[in-house]
Chains A and B, each alone.
Chain A
Amino acid sequence: MNQHKKVVIVPCSGIGKTYGTVSREAAYEVIEDLRAEQAQLVALSLLVLGDDDARSAVGQYPAIAIDGCKLACASKMVEESGGHVVQEYAVLDVYRRYRQFKPRGIAELNEGGQKLAHALAEEVAASVDELLAGEGGQDA
């Protein structure tokens, strides 16, 4: 796997709905636990403000957007910032695949929400691996 390449993870920053919290929790699990070396989190607020470092990160690395609702702020903002979303996750779609994990809570997720976030994080981590394997193959 290419050690120099990274994948940018951009979660939803919504605070009004449970799915936003699930998206963040999944993103944190990926960047802190599952793929700490390979994945980098970029905050949406920095992209909104046009922060140079944040724009540079999404411009340089492939991005995975995790959206909490159909408004898809994360995906839209990456594209608006000159980045490329190579994989887009919508938490609601993920929930449809894991209906046994019903998420509740915003400040604090219930057990179902935590399990859903974990399932999503595993999928995102797998996407990171695929992307970096692809990048490595292209570079080689």
Chain B
Amino acid sequence: MPKLPEKKVGIVACSGEELAEGTVTRLAALRVLEELRPRDTVTICLPLFLAGGEGDRAFARFYPTIAVDGCELRCAARATEKYSGKPAASIVVTDVVDEAGLDQPKGLRHLNEASLQAVEATAHHMAFMVDDLLGKRWSRRQGAFLDDQIPVEAEDSSRTATCACGSGIPIQSVAVNGEQVTLIALPVLFEQFQEVGKPPTPEIARELLEQVKIYNQVPEELEAVYLDVLRQEYANFCIEKEPVK
């Protein structure tokens, strides 16, 4: 059965190539993605909100997202909100540096000691934000989540950042009252329902709507319209998927 991507936290780094703090965002994000919280995080390149497809733009509507910015321009936070969805949390390296009383980061390619400290401080700040967003409790003493059943050794040993770019969140556009609305996860939900033999009835449409509401905002006053739309779209999906006899 097809599965929806498991709940993870999206990391969007500004990556500002012209500032040392931009390099700090990149390395801090990687530290979280590869080492501190590899199973719980995924990233996307900021430019994909414009250069990518609708699935890429759905990123921050699908994942609770942390925007990590190098400076007060806050490109990552503002662009994420503008083109995708409001970040669940945001962090600015200059704030972290001030709060921790660190020296000014310097260097683009070769970071100075202060920059490396800023990377560590920013990364750990982000890791706690991830835990917070996922409702997990991290034990510093044990080096593991208190309620985690999966031992740390079982984590991905390849230490590769999970990159969402181009993979796209599954989406489908439907017409609601004459307007095109993009619904996140709908194609996968259809597949799941069809695979277990659920027919396109009004009752099943209600069930579908409840699933759709997990990933999308459905205005209460439009629920009846959505029910009709989902039933019809799901019926079309089932017809298309019917084996040719």
Contacts and interface: CB of A to CB of B under 8 A. Distances in A.
B162 A16 contact: yes
Interface residues of A, number: 34
Interface string A72-105: 1110110010000000000000000000000000
Contact of A48 (B19, B50, B108, B163): B50
Given A13-B15, A45-B79, A48-B79, A28 B47 contact: no
Interface stretch (B27-35, B130-138, B144-152): B27-35
A32 interface: yes
Interface residues of B, number: 40
Interface string A4-35: 00000001111111001000110110001000
Contacts of B17: 11, 13, 24, 27-28, 41, 43-44
Interface string B1-44: 00000000000011111110010001101110110000000011
A132 to B, nearest CB: 21
Contacts of B188: none
Contact of B47 (A13, A24, A25, A42): A13
Given A32-B108, A76-B47, 12 more contacts: A11-B17, A13-B15, A41-B18, A43-B15, A44-B15, A44-B17, A45-B47, A48-B47, A48-B49, A71-B52, A80-B50, A107-B30
A69 B47 CA distance: 12
